[in-house]
Structure 1
C-alpha cells in the first residue's frame, strides 16, 4: 500500500469538495493492482493516491476498490477537513455510507452525475426494447439531458422532483399542467419528433422509471452536480508511466503511479501550446491532418507520361508505401478507441 497526501496548502484547501475514483492495472476482471486517486474539485490537484495489491484482499479483485476507498477515506480525514467526497456509482462504496461510522462521520457522499445519467439511459433503453415502447429510444437522449439540467439547476430535492416529473408531461406535448409548467422557451411548430401518447404502454413504462422509489432515493447524491471526468483524465495520464499491457512488481508500480501524480500536479496549470496566429495547437489534429495529406498525395499522385518516362506499373514501392500509411492510420484509430475505454474504466 502507498498513500500520498500533498501537504502544500496551496494545493489542498480543506473546505473544498474532493472526488475519488479507482483505476485497475489491467482490463477485465483479472487486475493485480488498484490505484484509488483523490482530486480536489476546485484546484484539480491530486491530493491522495492509494495502491492496493490483490493479495491484500485474499486475491479478490472485486473488492479492491472498496478497500482502497476505505484506506483513502481514513488517510484524508487525518490530513484535511473532509466535508464531501464524490465517487462513481460503485454499489459497495455507496453501501458504506448507509450505516456505521461512514454515515456518522459527517462527510457528505455524492455521486458522479454522468454515472446517474448513464444508469437512467440504460433503463430507458431496456424499456424501449419491449413491445409497444420503441418510441422511448427516440426520447432517450432528451430525457437524459433533462436529468442533467435538473441536477444542475435544482437546489433542493423537492425542486428536483417537480422539474423531473415534468418530463412525463413534456413527452406527451403537454407543457402546462395543474402543478407546474415546463421551463423551456417557445418550441418550433414544425418539429418532427413523435410524441408519446399519454396513458400508453410506453408512457406508463417511462413513469415507472422516473418515479421508481429506489431511483429517487439516490437522487439527492446527484444534486451537487459533481463529475469525476477530470480524475478519469488523470488515470489516462498514468498510462504514460504504468501501461496496462505490462506487469510490474509492487514497488515499481507504486513508484510509477506516484510519479504520474507528481507530474500531473506539476504541469496542471501549464498554458497550452499555441500556433503563430494565437490558436491552440492540437497535436492529435495536426498528426491526423498530416496523415490525410500523405494518403491524398499517394492516392492522387498523377501518372507519368508513358512516352517520356519508364513504365512503373510493376513497381511495388508505391503500394508498399500506401500499405504502411493505411496500417498506421488503423493503428491510430485503435489506440484512440483503447484510450477512451481506459478513461471510462
Structure 2
C-alpha cells in the first residue's frame, strides 16, 4: 500500500488528512499543493500533519502524551508549512518531517481498552506493523469493502505474530496503563458471530469525484467516542483468565495478579521465563474513579430505579457491582447536582418563553408523600395548561408547617412566589376545594376554578355512603348516571347560573319529572322512558329522595358548582402523579434532596413525553387498549395507546455529568448547598442511649418472676 502516503512524499509516519469538504478551504489546499487550482485532480490525495502548524490541531497535547491515536484538525485549517514539491517534485525528509519527529520519539502508552501492551518507537529497519486497536492496515481501513466472517481471526493472528517478532528483534517490551485518560480506547475489529450482524458497505466514491473516500469528519474507524456512551458487554471471569494464563511469546504459564473495585477489574501478567509483562483494565479510569462504577450509579439514579432492587438482580446472576456507600457518594457529589442544574436550566428556558405572554393559565395540586400514616413530605405542582408542561414544583417538609393540613397552602404560596419573581402572572388557576387554598387565592385576587373530577369524587362518596343505608338501595343504580350528568352539564355551560340550573335538573331526571319551564332545557337529556316500573324511579316525597336532595342542594355544594371549571381539568396532573410513583414510590423513604431530585426527574420525563401522539397500526388505524379503572367499578373503558416514550433527558444528564460536573463539581455542589434542608422529624426529640433502648423489658412471664411468685411449703 505505497499509495497511502502524503502527496508531498513525506517519509514521516504521521496522521494523514483528506481534502476538506468546504469548497473554499479545499481550493486553498489545492493551490498550496499544485501552486494553482487544477481542473482535474485525484480526490483521494492525502496530506500529512507535517504541513500544519501546532495551532491547527485540536488534540496535539493528548497526541504527544500518547492518549490519542491520531490528530484532529480544527474547522477550516490552512496548509502553512512550505515544501519543495513545487520545485523538484520531492520533499526533504529533514525539512518536512522535523515537527513530527518529536511526536514519535517518546513511547506510546498502552490503551486501556485494547488489551495490548504499549509499543515504543521501533527503528527504521523494523518491519511495518499495524495497530492492534484496528487489526487492519491503513490501506484496508481506507478501502470500502465487504467484511467477511473469517478474516478477523486471520488478521489478528498475522498481526500478533509480526508484532511479537518485531518486539523480540528490538528487545524492548514495556507496558504502562493510562492514568486519568478520558479518551475511548481504539476500536477493535468486529468478530462476526451471528449472521445478522454481517455488514455490507458499498463504495460510492466513483459517483461523486469531489467527495473523498476518508475525511476527518467521516472517518468512522478512528472516530473517538466518549467512554460513557460506548457499548458494554458482560464478560465471564473464566474467559478473562484464559487471556492471561499463558505468555503470548513463549507459552509459559504466567503469574497473574487480579484486582477488582466494583465493576472495575484489572490484570497484571508476568512471565517467569521471558519476563514478558503487561497490564490490562476492563474500563477507562478518570482520575481514580472507574467510569463503569459512575455509570452504574448514574443509570440507577436517572432511571428512577432502586439500588437495592438492582443489587438483588445482580446478586442473582453473580454480577459484581459497586457498594451502596459508593452509590451514595456518586449521587451526592455528581448526580444530584447535575439533576438540579438541568432542572433549573430547563425551567428558566420555559419561563423565558412564557414571559412574552405575561399571564398564564395553570392547574395546581398537592401530592402527599408518606411512608406511613403521617405525611412526611408534600409536593405541590403547577402545570401550564396550554402547553401541558410542569412549570414548578415545591417540596414541603411537615416540620416547616404546623401540620400536614397546611402543606398545600404553603406549597401553592411558594409556587406563586416563584412565578412572580420570574415576571409571570396567573390568569386563573384550577385546583381542588381545599378551604385554606380558597381563602389564600381570594386574598391574592386570583381567579380560581374547581376541578370537576374532585367535585364528583367528593359528592360520590356521600351518595355511595347513603346508598348503603336501609331503604336507599335504589340510589346505587343512579350514582353513575348522576356523575355523568354533573360532568356534561358543566362542560356544556360557560356561566355559573347556567351550571347551577343544569345541575339542579338532575333531581327532576331521577324522579322522571318532565317539566321544561326553564328555556335552557327544552327537552330532557335522558332517553325515553323504557319502563313504567315505579320501583326503579324515585318517588316524590319519599325519604330516599329527600336525603338525596339534602346532599345535592347543600348551600356550599351549589356555591361550588358555580366555580366548576369548564376550560380545563386537572386530569393531566393526576397522570403526572402516576409518573412520580415510578421515580419516588410512597413506600420508600428518601432524604429531602433525594426526594426533590426524583420529583425533578419525573417532571423532566413528563415534559418530554406528555404530548405523545396516539399509536397507529401499519394500515393507519388508531390503536386502543381496554382497561378497567377502579372508579368505574368493573366497567370497561377504551384507552388510546400512545407511542413509545423517549428518554433524551437521560442522555443529556449523562453528558452533563461526564463532561462538566465530573471535571469540576464544586460550582454544581455549591448550588445544592444553597437549598434549605429542613430538620428531620426526630430532631425535636432527645436521643436516648442505645443501651437503654436495646435493654429487653421485664415480663411477668419471665423465669425470675415466676420463681418469686411461687409459694414455698413450710415442710419443704
Matches within 5 A, 1:190-339: 190=531, 194-224=536-566, 226-271=568-613, 274-278=616-620
Separation in 1, partners of 2:555, 2:543: 20
1:173 aligns with 2:515: no
Separation in 2, partners of 1:149, 1:282: 24
Q: Choose which of 17, 25, 31 in structure 1 pairs with 2:361.
A: 17
214 and 255 in structure 1: CA distance in 2 versus 1, 3 angstrom threshold: same
Q: Choose which of 428, 431, 440 in structure 2 pairs with 1:87.
A: 431
Partner of 2:414: 71
Partner of 2:465: 126
Deviation at 1:91, TM superposition (A): 3.1
Deviation at 1:276, TM superposition (A): 3.9
Partner of 2:475: 136
Larger Rg: 2
1:51 aligns with 2:395: yes
28 and 151 in structure 1: CA distance in 2 versus 1, 3 angstrom threshold: farther
Provide, for residues 284-303 of structure 1, a one-character-per-residue CA deviation record: whole Å limited to 9, x for no partner.
99xxxxxxxxxxxxxxxxxx
Deviation at 1:92, TM superposition (A): 2.9
Conserved in 2, the CA contact under 8 Å of 1:29 and 1:61?
no
Question: How many residue pairs were aligned?
Answer: 278
Deviation at 1:248, TM superposition (A): 1.8
Q: What is the DSSP-based 3-state SS (H/G/I as helix, E as strand, rest coil) of the residue aligned with 1:144?
A: helix
104 and 274 in structure 1: CA distance in 2 versus 1, 3 angstrom threshold: same
177 and 28 in structure 1: CA distance in 2 versus 1, 3 angstrom threshold: farther
Provide, for residues 56-113 of structure 1, a one-character-per-residue CA deviation record: whole Å limited to 9, x for no partner.
225x3332222112211222233312011111233332243xxxxx324331111110
Q: 5+ unaligned residues in a row in structure 2: which ranges?
A: 1-339, 628-716
Partner of 1:108: 447
TM-score by length of 2: 0.36
1:184 aligns with 2:520: no
Deviation at 1:11, TM superposition (A): 6.4
32 and 210 in structure 1: CA distance in 2 versus 1, 3 angstrom threshold: closer
Partner of 1:61: 404
**Larger helix proportion, structure 1 or 2?**
1
Conserved in 1, the CA contact under 8 Å of 2:363 and 2:570?
yes
Separation in 1, partners of 2:517, 2:495: 21
Q: What is the DSSP-based 3-state SS (H/G/I as helix, E as strand, rest coil) of the residue aligned with 1:83?
A: strand
Worse-superposed segment, 265-274 or 237-246: 265-274
Separation in 2, partners of 1:183, 1:174: 9
1:146 aligns with 2:490: no
Conserved in 2, the CA contact under 8 Å of 1:111 and 1:222?
yes
Worse-superposed segment, 43-52 or 148-157: 148-157
Q: What is the DSSP-based 3-state SS (H/G/I as helix, E as strand, rest coil) of the residue aligned with 1:84?
A: strand
250 and 215 in structure 1: CA distance in 2 versus 1, 3 angstrom threshold: same
27 and 108 in structure 1: CA distance in 2 versus 1, 3 angstrom threshold: farther
Deviation at 1:170, TM superposition (A): 1.8
Separation in 2, partners of 1:276, 1:191: 50
Partner of 1:328: none
TM-score by length of 1: 0.70
Q: 5+ unaligned residues in a row in structure 1: which ranges?
A: 97-101, 286-345
Structure with the bigger RCO (C-alpha within 8 Å, sep 6+) is 1
Separation in 2, partners of 1:197, 1:283: 41
Conserved in 2, the CA contact under 8 Å of 1:6 and 1:48?
no
Deviation at 1:281, TM superposition (A): 6.7
Deviation at 1:44, TM superposition (A): 0.6
28 and 157 in structure 1: CA distance in 2 versus 1, 3 angstrom threshold: farther
Q: What is the DSSP-based 3-state SS (H/G/I as helix, E as strand, rest coil) of the residue aligned with 1:248?
A: coil
Separation in 2, partners of 1:225, 1:253: 32
